[in-house]
Structures are given as structure tokens and as C-alpha cells.
Chains A and B, each alone.
Chain A
């Protein structure tokens, strides 16, 4: 069977499974509280996996992820409110119309966030380590300040009236796509260049890797995916508030990937799930909830500093495992790994 055909079939199966699950959710067979948390997990997965590309695989220290998420969320919300609703209605207002409108909204959000990523990335990725962190943090704060002042999107009052789309299918489709994209990037020549930057930037440069270009590319992709995560959030409650995108949100995403294990996709997924459920799970502790949350975080860092699912060592182990059972979900995984090995020594420029 040709590879593309196999990939196509796998993709169709994934879509079919998601669609089936979506039907289960629509039918209300699952408690909406659980399904809400599950969907929030899906959004978190998108955000965490995308941040892992820049922090975990490229080794660049970005803590302004919420800023890109905000760009995606607000631009897509603006699109949906002003054009999307009309578009969906002009296409009959049915499922088809909404699929088109939402797809466009997602593309708008991702592209705008990607542009923001480009604008921030080009000047700031010349900086290293903590300085990059501070610039991204500063950018995130600046975005929030601006959102507070843009009347067209509600300013400080928040942006309400965004069409609400609580779709399990859509959220997890984006999450799976993010995972597939990151997985394929990591296992390609491009990804090897990124990892070489993480391991030793000077050596990578000496080997002919155009480090700035690769870093910016990774940053833009990561930002665009964060933007897509923002799109999901915008249409989840139909309400956005600049307060939701302050640096504490960036920290939350950062904690997810570090808790899960930097440079591990499965780790990011796990970290996203654990940290989304944890505050809900601790609800019984009333006012001590967040105290326990922060204590658990510290204890976890002390006892498992490499994260729940190990670090680079665990990553290589995971990759082997992945090879085994992700001939499955990620579709092109097999081919990517192979082409990755074959061009490993090639100059990725």
C-alpha cells in the first residue's frame, strides 16, 4: 500500500473516531462537567505541545506564550463576530457553513499569531536564555495592555458575543494536528537542526545550521499553534477577557511542559491534562485548594526534576516506543523518522 494512501486512511480513522466521540458528547451521554474539563484539557494540550516545540526542542526560553494565544483568540473572535456568523448563515447556517466559518477563523487566528511570532521572534531571538525569556514576557504583557485599550474587541470589559462552539471534535482535531505537526517537525531534518541548537548552539552554528533562521521558524510555528489554541478558547465560552492572558497563563503552560518533561510530546500532553484537572480535583479542599496546588508543584519539582516523563533520556526511549505504536495516530510518523535518519548528516540549510 502506498504510504500516502496509508496516511490518508489513518487520518480518516482518526477523524472518524473523533467524530464518533463528538457524537457521544453531543448526545449528552457524558456529564457536561467532565466533558468541559476534557475539552479544556484538549485546549491545554494544543498550547503545551506548541510551547514544547520552542522551549523543549529548540531550547529557547519563551514565557510569553499566552500573548500569542491572545492574538489568535482575539483575531479569530473578531473574524467570527464580524464575518464568520454572516458567512455561516449565507452558507445556509447549517453544519457546512459553520465548518467553513470556523476553519477560516482558525486560519485567521493562527496566521495572526504567527505574524506576531515573527515580529517578536526576529529581533528577540538574537538574545539568549533569560533575556529572551524577559522579552517574551514583556511582549505578553504589552499585548494585554493593548487588548485592554482596544474598544473594537471590548477593551477591559471583555469581548462577548463570540459564537460558542463547544465541539469535542474541533478541539481535539486541533490538538491532534498540533501533536502531528510537532512530531513530524521534531523527526525531520528541520527538527534535528532545532535539537542541535538546543544541545549546543555554537556547535550547531559551526556545523552550518543557520540558527537564527531556524529559531525564528520554530518560534513562528509555535506561535501560530498557540494562536490556534487561542481560537479554541475564544469560541469555547464565547467570551474573552484580557485578564485571562496575563503572564500567569504563560507560566501555567510553561509548568505543564516542564512538569510533563521538557522535550517530550507525551509528557506535554500528560502535563497539560494533569495541570488542567488538578485545580478541579482539589476543589474539595476549599480555600486550601491553591495552596495545596502550589505545594504539590514544588514537591513534584524536587522529587521529579526531569518532569513526570523524564527529559532527553526518556525522550529517546519514548521515541522508540512511539515508533512502535505511532505507526498509528500520527500517521506520517514512520516516514518522518526514516527520512529524518537518512538526512541526519545533511546540512539542513
Chain B
């Protein structure tokens, strides 16, 4: 039982990260019907931005922000009793990385995707693959091909739970931040004017344009939002598992994409559900069956679900017009 509980916690943490990335896939798909294959690589760039920021902030930046640099490494959440210094640094690092990646997302959209938007979707897809390859190969040149190790932003410790299971403080932080980001996203999409415009564009781009929505701006905003979430996921992953490399986005990106499809691509709660489902399934398969078939099982479930619910778990079936 305790093992099961433990695996469930492991799965939810992993799933929360998939969910954050899946949200970006799903939003971009919603407005552009484009599978943005470069999204996983934006997540990688986010992690690297976090890495450089954390190293920069750790020494000089922290003082500039009026923080105690000793606290960055020394004391941690729930560890030393004080919450502020380290967790705030982690948040600052994450928010800055999000801002940078949002800008990168907008630039990618402007330079690579907008010029091909008027052409076929396959052209756009190949462009996306091109951008993905560019980020991966460029990352290997700029960041270096060898893995980097993310500094510890706060001390991690295990918190014992009932039934013999324990949860790592990093997982707690990941879960809380992921949840908070999802709530913020929900508010943006459903409670703001821009969010309404996003939904309108997603529903029908041409009509939205006719209604006076600046669709270019909304699409750029969507990319910014998705990329920021990917960056957040990148930093959160790095906090949880501190190894980053320029190719880290490929497999995680693919799985997050699978998660988005599983939940019903274009559907925001679906992406979260899909992410959690993939995370938990993967962990359970690893724990109780054979880890070697982990990826196969994730895809097999996806295929099965698609065969019975062709638009994913929460997707709506689009009635084809004759």
C-alpha cells in the first residue's frame, strides 16, 4: 500500500510537468491547428535560461534583489524554517525564464510560423520540425552538448506521509507552482478579454477576424503564454531533477504532446488530465510491470483511446460538414 501511494505521488509530480507542457501544445493547436513540434525544445531553452539565471542570481543578482545569497543554497523550504529567501529566488528564476521564453516564443511565431501560416498545414508542420531541429542543434552549439547540472535553489528533504510514503519538498513545490499556473491560465482564458479573443480565434479564425479581433496579436499572445508555461515546466523539472541537456525536450515534448492528444487536443482541462494520466500510467508501468515497455505502453494507451474516442478524452467531436 505504501509503495502504491508512493508511486502515485511520483506519478502525479511527473504528470504535473507533462501537463504544463501539454498546455502549450494544446493552446497553439487550438488557435492555429498546428502541432508545434518545437514546443518541447522551448521547454529545454526554459530550463537553460533558468540555469544561467540561477547561477547569475546566486551571486550578484541576489544582492541586487535585496536577498540574502547565503539563503539561496543554505536554507530551504520547510528545511531551515524560513520560507522566503530560497523559494523566492526559485520563483524569480522561474518568472524570468518564463518571460525570456515568452519572448522567444513570440519571435519564433513571428519569424518562422507567421510567414507560412497562409500555406498548407504540412508546410507549417515541417517549419515547426525545422525550428525544433534549430533549437536542438543551436542549443548544442550555444549551451554545449554536454549535460549541465542545475544548482539547488533550496534544500530538499523528505516529508513523511501517512502509510509509510514520503514526499520530497521539491515535488511539493512543483505541484503547488504547477497548480497555481494552471489556475492563472484558466483565469486568463476564461475571465479576460484577451482570453475570450483567444477562444474566439480558436473557434473560428476568420470569423474572429471579421469581429474585429487582431488575430495576429492573439496568436502571438498564445505562443507567449504557451512558451512561458513550457519554460516554467523546464525550471520545475530542473528543480526536481537537476540535469539538463539540449536534447532533453525531445522525449518529454513528445510525451506531453501525447498527453495533449489524449486529453483532446485544443482542450485546456484535457491537457491537464492527459498529462496526469500519462505521468501516473508511466510511473505505475515502471513500478509494477516492466520499465522497458514504458514508452510503448504510453503510446499504446493513446492509440486505444483514440480508436474508441477519436477526439481524445475531453475533446469534442467535430461534425464534418458536407
A–B proximity contact (CB within 8 A): yes
- CB-based contact A135/B112 at 8 Å: no
A146 to B292, CA, bound (A): 9
- CB-based contact A138/B122 at 8 Å: no
A35: interface (CB < 8 Å):
no
* Residues of A close to B306: CB separation below 8 A: 124, 127, 131, 134-135
B293: interface (CB < 8 Å):
yes
Q: How far is the CB of B142 from chain A (nearest CB, A)?
A: 9
* Residues of B close to A251: CB separation below 8 A: 129
- CB-based contact B299/A141 at 8 Å: yes
> Which among B116, B133, B140 is the interface contact of A305 at CB below 8 angstroms?
B116
For chain B, the count of residues having a C-beta within 8 Å of the partner chain is: 41
A100: interface (CB < 8 Å):
no
A254: interface (CB < 8 Å):
yes
* Residues of B close to A291: CB separation below 8 A: 134, 137-138, 141
> Which among B115, B130, B261, B292 is the interface contact of A145 at CB below 8 angstroms?
B292
- CB-based contact B126/A302 at 8 Å: no
A127 to B306, CA, bound (A): 8
A259 to B129, CA, bound (A): 12
The residue on A at minimum CB distance from B262 is A134
B-contact bits for A247-268, CB 8 A (1 contact / 0 none): 1100100110011001000000
A287: interface (CB < 8 Å):
yes
> Which among B119, B133, B295, B307 is the interface contact of A297 at CB below 8 angstroms?
B133
- CB-based contact B310/A305 at 8 Å: no
Q: How far is the CB of B186 from chain A (nearest CB, A)?
A: 25
- CB-based contact B261/A146 at 8 Å: no
Q: How far is the CB of B307 from chain A (nearest CB, A)?
A: 5
- CB-based contact B307/A294 at 8 Å: no
Q: A124-B303, A298-B130 are in contact. List 12 more A-B contacts (CB 8 A).
A: A123-B303, A138-B300, A138-B302, A141-B295, A145-B294, A145-B295, A255-B126, A258-B122, A259-B126, A290-B133, A297-B127, A302-B115
Q: Chain A: residues with CB nearer than 8 A to chain B?
A: 55, 61, 123-124, 126-128, 130-131, 133-135, 137-139, 141-142, 145-146, 148-149, 202, 206, 247-248, 251, 254-255, 258-259, 262, 287-288, 290-291, 293-295, 297-298, 301-302, 305-306, 311
Q: Which 10 A-B pairs give the minimum distances between C-beta atoms?
A: A138-B299, A305-B119, A294-B133, A290-B137, A297-B130, A294-B134, A145-B296, A298-B130, A305-B123, A301-B127
